[in-house]
């Protein structure tokens, strides 16, 4: 959302907040205002991380959010969050409407949200930008890839949700969503996805221009079981969507209909005192129908993605917390050894990315968080080829520092 759109959103929110005088009188004290500011630094021994120039060190790693909420009537909540981020060439600190919705909770077991709503995906997607909720700086990229944040974080549509109490069996939280989302096809992820998907075909490696993307729909949902064992929750979530893409590839107009048949995550988390343990398994299936009518060419492409991680954290006192996780991601679960890449003269380590991460978190003040993190990485299965024109290295290290303030 550019400046003009931002002011339009702000004006709309203001009208909602102020009301019409006689319909409802809302004072400033009734409005809850919260936000966060996060600034980080990234440096890598080899390979540029996503679209940032991390081999030289990069401060292009920041997030800011400001949200407003109020409850004008019992059971009715109105909320809006303005958000900006920067990660290399992505975001560039443009202000966007991150979420904004009406939320009516009729009963504990049934509520509805309409507007721009957070996508229920895995354990942490809905709070992924709130740094104070996590030990690590980067969530495990096998399940929460930063280059796909804008695609996964929210949709414009509606959500049914609630909590079903099951007595001695605990409780079940559910969400069901449907809608669509605007897509910024200029993000490096989309052109890189096309390159990776077409490896071994006549389209692979051809220059891409004029890429556009339009999401027809996204539907999905999640279930999270708060088990009778205190601190243990289990979950499953799934998304499906359809995106129509057009581009000029090697001077030929190409149409690509992308059906995401499944985007599933199976989750488990156990929190006991100062100790935390979590793990998630991701599986994605994408069918891409590539057509070049002028060349009389049609090419079906099937992608089968896989990722998983396990993490441990421990808070020693109110100001020190340590954590570690191990994560693996495969852009093609049917080619984990990279034989497809070797067949076209590319390194096999483009077929995987394995990441062992160590995180140190300090909370020197109540609302201030300082983190240091090191990633020991094998493979380049999630790196953008465009950001590394001189080639990629198999083994590399990524260092991250981040300071956050929330209010």
The whole-number pLDDT of residue 6 equals 46
CA dihedral 16, 22, 24, 29 (to 10 degrees): 90
The whole-number pLDDT of residue 352 equals 96
Tell me the helix, strand and coil percentages in the chain, rounded to 5: 15, 55, 30
The whole-number pLDDT of residue 62 equals 95
Q: Quick one: residue 217, left, alpha or beta (phi over 0 = left, psi -120 to 50 = alpha)?
A: beta
Domains and their CATH numbers in the chain: 3-406 (2.40.160.10)
Q: Is the dihedral of CA 191, 192, 197, 199 positive or negative?
A: positive
User: pTM of the predicted model, to two decimals?
Assistant: 0.89
Q: What is the full DSSP assignment across 328-387?
A: EEES-TT-TT-HHHHHTT--GGGG-EEEEEEEEEEEEETTEEEEEEEEEEEE-TTS-STT
Here the tokens at position 198 are 């077409």
Mean pLDDT per 10-residue section of the chain, whose length is 407 residues: 45 45 53 94 92 91 94 93 90 91 96 96 94 95 90 93 96 97 77 73 77 90 97 97 86 85 96 97 92 81 93 97 98 91 89 97 96 97 84 95 96
Q: 23: burial class by Cβ within 10 Å (0-12, 13-18, 19+)? A: exposed
């Amino acid at each position: 959302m550019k400046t003009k759109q931002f002011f339009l959103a702000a004006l709309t929110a203001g009208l909602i907040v102020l009301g019409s005088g006689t319909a409802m009188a809302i004072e400033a004290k009734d409005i809850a205002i919260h936000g966060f500011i996060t600034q980080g630094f990234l440096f890598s021994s080899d390979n540029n991380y996503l679209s940032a120039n991390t081999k030289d060190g990069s401060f292009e790693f920041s997030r800011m959010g400001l949200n407003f909420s109020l409850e004008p009537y019992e059971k009715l909540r109105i909320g809006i969050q303005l958000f900006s981020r920067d990660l290399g060439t992505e975001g560039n600190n443009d202000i966007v409407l991150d979420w904004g919705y009406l939320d009516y909770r009729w009963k504990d077991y049934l509520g509805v949200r309409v507007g721009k709503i957070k996508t229920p995906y895995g354990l942490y997607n809905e709070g992924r930008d709130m740094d104070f909720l996590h030990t690590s700086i980067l969530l495990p990229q096998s399940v929460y890839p930063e280059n796909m944040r804008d695609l996964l974080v929210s949709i414009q549509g509606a959500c049914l949700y609630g909590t079903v109490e099951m007595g001695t069996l605990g409780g079940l939280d559910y969400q069901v969503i449907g809608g669509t989302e605007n897509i910024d096809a200029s993000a490096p992820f989309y052109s890189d996805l096309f390159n990776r998907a077409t490896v071994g075909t006549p389209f692979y490696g051809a220059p891409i221009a004029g890429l556009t993307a339009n999401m027809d729909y996204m539907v999905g949902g999640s279930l999270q079981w708060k088990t009778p064992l205190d601190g243990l929750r289990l979950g499953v979530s799934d998304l499906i969507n359809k995106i129509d893409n057009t581009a000029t590839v090697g001077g030929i107009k190409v149409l690509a209909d992308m059906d995401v048949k499944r985007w599933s995550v199976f989750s488990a988390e156990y929190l006991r005192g100062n100790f935390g343990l979590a793990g998630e398994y991701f599986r994605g299936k994408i069918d891409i129908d590539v057509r070049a009518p002028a060349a009389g060419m049609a090419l079906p492409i099937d992608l089968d993605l896989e990722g998983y991680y396990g993490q441990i954290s421990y808070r020693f006192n109110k100001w020190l917390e340590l954590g570690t996780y191990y994560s693996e991601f495969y852009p093609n679960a049917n080619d984990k050894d990279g034989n497809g890449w070797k067949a076209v003269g590319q390194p096999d380590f483009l077929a995987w990315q394995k990441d062992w991460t160590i995180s140190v978190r300090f909370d020197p003040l109540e609302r201030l968080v300082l983190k240091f993190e090191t990633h020991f990485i094998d493979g380049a299965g999630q790196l953008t080829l465009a950001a590394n024109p001189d080639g990629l290295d198999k083994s590399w290290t990524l260092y991250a520092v981040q300071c956050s303030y929330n209010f």
